Structure 1
Amino acid sequence: MDNPYNMSSVLVLNRFDLPPETIFPAFLFATLSYMIILFCNLILILTIVLNKSLHQPMYLILLNLPINDLIGSTALFSQVIKEILTSSRTMQYSACVAQAFFIHIYAGGAVFILSAMAYDRYIAICCPLKYNTVMTHAHIMKIISCVWISSLVLIAVLFFLLLRLPRCRSELTHPYCDNPTLLSLVCADTTINNITGLLGVALTQVIANGMILYTYLQILVACFRSRRSDTKAKALQTCATHLIVFLLLECLGLFTIISYRLKNVSPHLRKFMGVSTLIFPPTLNPIIYGLKTKEIRDKVVHFVRNKIFHAS
């Protein structure tokens, strides 16, 4: 009683209360989901890396999306599969912090990468004559560096403020570790953390939504002014693809963030939406970009035929 703080390195899990008969189906579903995500994203990465014809600004920026998706899905599934397989009821605090850190890197990185992709399409469609001059290799490297550094700095500040606080609880109920889940274990004033977290979300949302809204409005104006129907159709198709991916991520992510602050939201719905953020975008992104982008689609088919089937 003299020490109210529980600084134990072991956390108690109470998030996958599975009956014995559902353990194998749950393990099978989690493993197959992760294998699909792993296969689709690695195929997209290898296709872009191994084909020099795809070493263009658009695809170099796109390359970061499957890398980011693998970071998020690996952080989730590695722990989930282990818990289901071993029926473990405990987790190391350090492992929880690591999982939360990479999941937040994934969330921030996805928003910034999609914003960078929107900027690239804006230059390509609205300023086609300046595209090669503006989107040089050096400029692309600056954009990619800015994307990752911005995400790392925002998340590092968030976790620096978190790890300075003492804990007095050890039970985890959310499907995965994240900043709000770790804050629920704290028994100190979290006002600064909450304000910093909300400011970080607001900043990324203003930058991402502002850039995407502006660039796509400009693209739409340029498309309707264009007299070439094929150019208009291709540009609109590209924008529609990007918007679908962005809106899916935004809807799932924002609902998860808001649900933490609404007490009357069903915990099962909160869990489902939280896990969906780390399953659906990483699964759909390589399929959408692989099938909707002709250059990538052709290279993927060629890669699968020659490198995989012929090798076997």
Structure 2
Amino acid sequence: MNITLIFTSYGPPGALNYGVFVISLVVFLTTVFANVTLMLVIYLDTTLHKPMYIFLFNLAINGLIGSSAVLPKIMENLVSDMKDILYTDCILQVFFINVYGTCAYAILTVMAYDRYVSICKPLQYYNIMTPGKIRILLFIVYFSPVCSLAVQVYLTSRLPMCRYTINKLFCDNLAVVNLSCVKSTWGDLYGISLVLVFVVLPLILVILSYIKILCVSLKASVSAQKKALKTCTPHLITFINFSLATLFSVIYNRFNFSLSKEVNVFMSIHFILIPPLLHPLIYGIRTKEIGNSLTKMLRRKIVALGFNVRTEHSHNDAVFICTK
């Protein structure tokens, strides 16, 4: 279906568009750099090959998927005269945005489970969080959302269209459904079931995990409480940040508020801009092991660079002496 859809929220090229383009470009490049750096640190340092960091590695991959699915197209439309997208590309964008959102919640949920086992069952941790168990959890994290969302996108793509303009900066499932001439009851029910399974259920599971952690921590010593707090803080900040971003996005998509254009622009891309950028920064700052690992790698690089420079200078001096 080679239909072209038009975005109507961008407006003509101007100061606002160019300003948002610069911000989006800086955030996108920083997001890619931060997530790739985090992934490299975890991959190269064998001491970080633990369940929590394996899940964090996958959270970084997910952040790159979300940013790459939306921001490049937004930046292209901000500076071009025609703010359009092919229908097939729009459907793909819907799919990858939904995969980003649901997989992020799934990864954060298994990370909460990992923290629960680590604090509440420390002596059994490595018996419970085995490599096989981690592979099963990661399979569930990706397989269930991808298959379920593929069905949703297929149902959406089968709806007949009678409108071709989207009053947003990018495609989402509700925006595409609203282009249809008919209302799909089954599609709505399926969408609600996905929200319950991939948003509400993870939220409940994370809350239950932290209630258990809190109950165990209250019975422990002060030092154990501090250790538990230090261990859980990065994940808790990340989860709250992502939940707020998701809530922002849902409110923006479901309700029409009389807000300024600038606020509407921010609310529409906050879900894609902020979490993938902040997640690696939060873990990089709040997690001592990652900070230490990154520092050691940088020191080794600097030492190696200094050694190579000295070796090259010594070689050049020797050549100069021989030529004399």
**1:143/1:200 CA distance change after superposition, 3 Å:** same
* CA shift digits 1:54-94 (9 cap, x unpaired): 11111111111110000001111110122123333221111
One-letter identity of the residue aligned with 2:145: S
2:209 counterpart of 1:215: yes
Structure with max Cα Rg? 2
1:289 CA drift (Å): 0.5
2:244 counterpart of 1:244: no
Partner SS, residue 254 of structure 2:
coil
Structure 1 unaligned regions, length at least 5: 1-6
Structure 2 unaligned regions, length at least 5: 307-324
1:187 CA drift (Å): 1.0
2:124 counterpart of 1:139: no
One-letter identity of the residue aligned with 2:25: T
2:272 counterpart of 1:278: yes
TM-score (norm 2): 0.87
State percent identity of aligned pairs.
33
Point out the more displaced range, 90-99 or 236-245. Answer: 236-245
Q: Give the Cα separation in 1 of the matches to 2:88 and 2:260.
A: 25
1:22 CA drift (Å): 4.1
| 1:193-272 alignment, distance < 5 Å | 193-227=187-221, 229-264=222-257, 266=259, 268=261, 269-272=263-266
One-letter identity of the residue aligned with 1:253: T
Partner SS, residue 63 of structure 1:
helix
**1:308/1:147 CA distance change after superposition, 3 Å:** farther
Q: Give the Cα separation in 1 of the matches to 2:50 and 2:112.
A: 15
User: 1:54 is matched with which residue?
Assistant: 48
User: 2:64 is matched with which residue?
Assistant: 70
1:306 CA drift (Å): 4.1
Which of 183, 186, 191 is equivalent to 1:192?
Answer: 186
1:132 CA drift (Å): 0.7
Q: Give the Cα separation in 1 of the matches to 2:98 and 2:174.
A: 11
* CA shift digits 1:96-151 (9 cap, x unpaired): 11111111100001110000000001011100111011111111011111101121
> Would the aligned equivalents of 1:241 and 1:288 in 2 still touch at CA under 8 Å?
yes
TM-score (norm 1): 0.91
User: 1:3 is matched with which residue?
Assistant: none
One-letter identity of the residue aligned with 1:30: S
| 1:171-182 alignment, distance < 5 Å | 171-182=165-176
* CA shift digits 1:18-58 (9 cap, x unpaired): 44344443322221110010110110011101111111111
Q: Give the Cα separation in 2 of the matches to 1:218 and 1:263.
A: 39
> Would the aligned equivalents of 2:13 and 2:81 in 1 still touch at CA under 8 Å?
no
Report the RMSD for the aligned CA atoms in angstroms.
Answer: 2.1
User: 1:27 is matched with which residue?
Assistant: 21
Point out the more displaced range, 167-176 or 132-141. Answer: 167-176
2:113 counterpart of 1:119: yes
**1:178/1:306 CA distance change after superposition, 3 Å:** farther
Q: Give the Cα separation in 2 of the matches to 1:276 and 1:152.
A: 23
1:252 CA drift (Å): 2.2
Q: Give the Cα separation in 2 of the matches to 1:220 and 1:121.
A: 12
> Would the aligned equivalents of 2:252 and 2:268 in 1 still touch at CA under 8 Å?
no
> Would the aligned equivalents of 1:259 and 1:265 in 2 still touch at CA under 8 Å?
no
> Would the aligned equivalents of 2:36 and 2:60 in 1 still touch at CA under 8 Å?
yes
1:197 CA drift (Å): 1.1
One-letter identity of the residue aligned with 2:246: G
Q: Give the Cα separation in 2 of the matches to 1:53 and 1:92.
A: 46
